């Protein structure tokens, strides 16, 4: 089974390529050695040693940390060293229910290997032949993963909005889902992974939702980020995930979780336990 290849892609990173990033001596992320050397230029903000990068201890509290780091990040952006600036504030924390230690621009979060959160919606239809899943194709001009297959709705989880509220907002923007329909989405757990990507070290928790949509519902993209939507029988979805990397790397993971929860994979299938184990990290992984 090469479902496991999709999982392996979500777990590919080399610990030796990074040193820990700490706040108040608490390890929260990982910084590449190149970036660590660059951060030596900002000794008022970053305390860089050969073994770790820490926020300067003089930076105490949410506001001071946020402002000092933002100033450095703006300089790196202006020097062309941070691309795809998003202007989206992300909280710095290990679990979503914690008080954030500071805010950081989304584009910088993987550069520091910090945990990020997202929402993914499995929009499905239940028919006489079983389940079908709404699949989007990402626009060819999208900055990340152009042309890859995607969920009906998926997005990052910024600071200052609840997870469910964010899902409802993204559902309107990305697929034209009316609020009444999106509000029926059921939270069904999470997947998590850590992997090296072009944008840095992704350390993500994706909150997963299922939404059974009416058979006559047709999604409509409002923000130009999706080229087209189509409804795929689960057998086609699973074969595509097994045999190709046509789905965006983390979308494949969320769909494998969907397949486990809906009995499309079962305990008499080879690799069942290994697949389930691959869907989530533990805190010490």
Q: Which is nearer to a copy of itself, 118 or 200 (CB)?
A: 118
Nearest-approach distance from CB 37 to a copy of itself, in angstroms: 33
Name the minimum Å distance from CB 263 to a copy of itself: 4
Q: Cβ closer to a copy of itself: 62 or 272?
A: 272
Is residue 267 close enough to count as binding a copy of itself by CB under 8 A? yes
Kindly state the smallest distance separating residue 192's Cβ from a copy of itself, in Å.
8
CA-CA distance, 188 to 280, in Å (whole number)?
14
**Pairing state between β 46-48 and 18-23:** unpaired
Shortest distance, position 216 Cβ to a copy of itself, whole Å: 23
Residue 110 DSSP class:
G
Can you tell me which of 62, 85, 96, 159 binds a copy of itself, judged by CB under 8 A? 96
Segment 205 to 264, residues that bind a copy of itself, using CB under 8 A: 205, 207, 260-263
Specify the residue for token string 């305990």. Answer: 267
C-alpha distances in angstroms, 137 versus 59, 227, 248?
44, 6, 10
- Long-range CB pairs of 56-63, under 8 A, 24+ apart, other chains included: 57/24, 62/100, 62/101, 62/102, 62/103
d(CA 254, CA 237): 12
Instruction: CB nearer to a copy of itself: give 39 or 152.
Output: 152
The site that binds a copy of itself (CB under 8 A) totals a number of residues, namely 33
Are 203 and 113 within 8 A, CB to CB?
Answer: yes
At its nearest, how many Å lie between a copy of itself and the CB of residue 95?
5
- Structure tokens belonging to residue 29: 């992320």
What DSSP string runs through 128-145?
A: TTEEEEEEEEE-TT-SSS
Which residues of the chain form contacts with a copy of itself (CB under 8 A)? 95-97, 162-164, 186-190, 205, 207, 260-263, 265-274, 276-277, 280, 282-283, 285
């Amino acid at each position: 089974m090469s479902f496991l290849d999709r999982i392996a892609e979500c777990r590919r990173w080399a610990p030796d390529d990074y040193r820990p990033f700490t706040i108040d001596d608490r390890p929260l992320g990982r910084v590449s050695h190149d970036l660590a050397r660059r951060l030596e230029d900002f000794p008022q903000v970053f305390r860089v040693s050969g073994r770790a990068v820490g926020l300067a201890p003089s930076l105490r509290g949410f506001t001071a940390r946020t402002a000092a780091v933002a100033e450095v990040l703006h300089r790196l952006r202006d020097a062309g060293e941070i691309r795809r600036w998003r202007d989206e504030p992300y909280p710095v924390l290990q679990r979503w229910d914690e008080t954030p230690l500071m805010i950081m621009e989304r584009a910088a979060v993987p550069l520091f290997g910090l945990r990020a959160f997202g929402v993914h919606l499995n929009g499905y239809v239940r028919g006489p032949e079983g389940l079908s899943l709404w699949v989007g194709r990402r626009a060819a001009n999208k900055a990340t993963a152009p042309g890859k297959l995607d969920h009906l709705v998926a997005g990052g989880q910024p600071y200052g909005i609840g997870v469910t509220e964010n899902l409802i907002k993204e559902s309107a923007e990305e697929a034209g889902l009316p609020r009444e329909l999106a509000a029926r989405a059921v939270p069904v757990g999470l997947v998590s992974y850590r992997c090296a990507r072009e944008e840095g070290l992704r350390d993500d928790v994706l909150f997963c939702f299922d939404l059974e949509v009416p058979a006559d519902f047709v999604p409509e993209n409002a923000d130009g980020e999706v080229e087209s939507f189509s409804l795929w029988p689960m057998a086609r979805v699973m074969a595509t995930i097994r045999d190709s990397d046509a789905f965006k790397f983390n979308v494949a993971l969320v769909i494998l979780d969907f397949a486990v929860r809906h009995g499309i994979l079962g305990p008499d299938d080879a690799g069942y336990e290994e697949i389930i184990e691959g869907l989530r990290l533990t805190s010490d992984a």
